[in-house]
């Protein structure tokens, strides 16, 4: 069975408000993107497809892949203007794979343990995603900001990546999404599989540390986690 990872690094990072895209910002001396690629390099994953901005391909090739000797990165492809378009480019670049692990390059805390849990889960369920039960009570609000519903907390999870699928299943879901007119708003891959194929997606517990670097206050948190690991 072949396991391929797609690492997404084609975003602009508008919520971070920084000069350079957040995936290339340095945390504890290395670019954010380095950490998930390092975890994949020492895992059972056979190939990594890196998706980045068209103008960032050569930077990624020399300053990340060659510099840190990431031998599993077989292709660096240009992404699109939205996350789902970048994922689609990654899916099209996969070759003869059985399972695909879609991961945000902005999540540096990927571990071998998370990958092993994902592997067992996808082999059993064909579609699964990393996540954690929420700690806060979550409110559904109306357009004016009034609370209209309070879902039972034990049933609410925050979803992370990796999101892992049988390749042909997720490929069918994305092919269908791209044929829609208009294309509905999707913010992650599980949504695509759920809404296009009505396929069940199993959630598995990853870690509360598996954060996505999104806004400036995430940076000191990430630094602290990395110091703890060392």
Concatenated DSSP letters of 62-98: IIIIITTT-TTEEEEEE--SSHHHHHHHHHHH--S-S
Is the peptide bond preceding residue 162 cis, with omega within 30 degrees of 0?
yes
Applying CB under 6 A, among 58, 81, 137, 150 the residue interacting with ligand CTP is 81
- To ligand CTP, the closest distance from the beta carbon of 6 in angstroms equals 9
| Burial letters 27-47, b for 16+ CB under 10 A, else e | bbeebbbbbbbebbeebebeb
Q: Could you give the count of Cα atoms lying within 13 Å of 186 in the half-sphere of its Cβ?
A: 24
Of residues 28, 25, 172, the one with CA closest to residue 106:
25
CA gap 220, 113 in Å, rounded: 24
CA gap 129, 122 in Å, rounded: 9
Applying CB under 6 A, among 43, 56, 86, 160 the residue interacting with ligand CTP is 86
- To ligand CTP, the closest distance from the beta carbon of 164 in angstroms equals 16
- To ligand CTP, the closest distance from the beta carbon of 5 in angstroms equals 13
Q: CB under 6 A: which stretch of 9-17, 57-65, 112-120, 176-184 binds ligand CTP?
A: 9-17
**Which of positions 103-142 make contact with ligand CTP (CB under 6 A)?**
104-106
Q: CB under 6 A: which stretch of 56-64, 75-83, 138-146, 148-156 binds ligand CTP?
A: 75-83
**Which of positions 187-216 make contact with ligand CTP (CB under 6 A)?**
212, 214
Q: Does 13 bind ligand CTP (CB under 6 A)?
A: yes
- To ligand CTP, the closest distance from the beta carbon of 23 in angstroms equals 5
In the complex, the residues that contact ligand CTP under the rule CB under 6 A are: 8-15, 23, 51, 79-83, 86, 104-106, 212, 214
């Amino acid at each position: 069975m072949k396991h391929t990872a797609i690492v997404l690094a084609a975003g602009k990072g508008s919520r971070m408000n920084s000069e350079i895209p957040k995936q290339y910002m340095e945390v504890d001396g290395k670019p954010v993107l380095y950490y998930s690629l390092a975890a994949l390099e020492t895992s059972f994953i056979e190939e990594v497809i890196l998706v980045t901005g068209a103008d960032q391909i050569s930077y990624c090739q020399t300053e990340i892949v060659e510099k840190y000797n990431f031998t599993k990165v077989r292709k660096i492809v240009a992404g699109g203007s939205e996350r789902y378009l970048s994922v689609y480019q990654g899916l099209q670049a996969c070759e003869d794979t059985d399972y695909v692990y879609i991961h945000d390059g902005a999540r540096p805390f990927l571990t071998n343990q998370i990958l092993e849990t994902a592997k067992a889960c996808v082999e059993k369920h064909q579609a699964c995603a990393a996540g954690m039960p929420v700690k806060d009570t979550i409110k559904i609000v109306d357009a004016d900001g009034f609370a209209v519903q309070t879902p039972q907390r034990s049933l609410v999870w925050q979803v992370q990546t990796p999101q892992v699928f049988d390749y042909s299943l997720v490929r069918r879901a994305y092919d269908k999404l791209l044929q829609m007119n208009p294309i509905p708003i999707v913010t992650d891959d599980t949504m695509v599989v759920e809404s296009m194929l009505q396929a069940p997606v199993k959630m598995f517990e990853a870690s509360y540390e598996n954060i996505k670097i999104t806004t400036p206050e995430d940076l000191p948190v990430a630094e602290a986690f990395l110091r703890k690991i060392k």
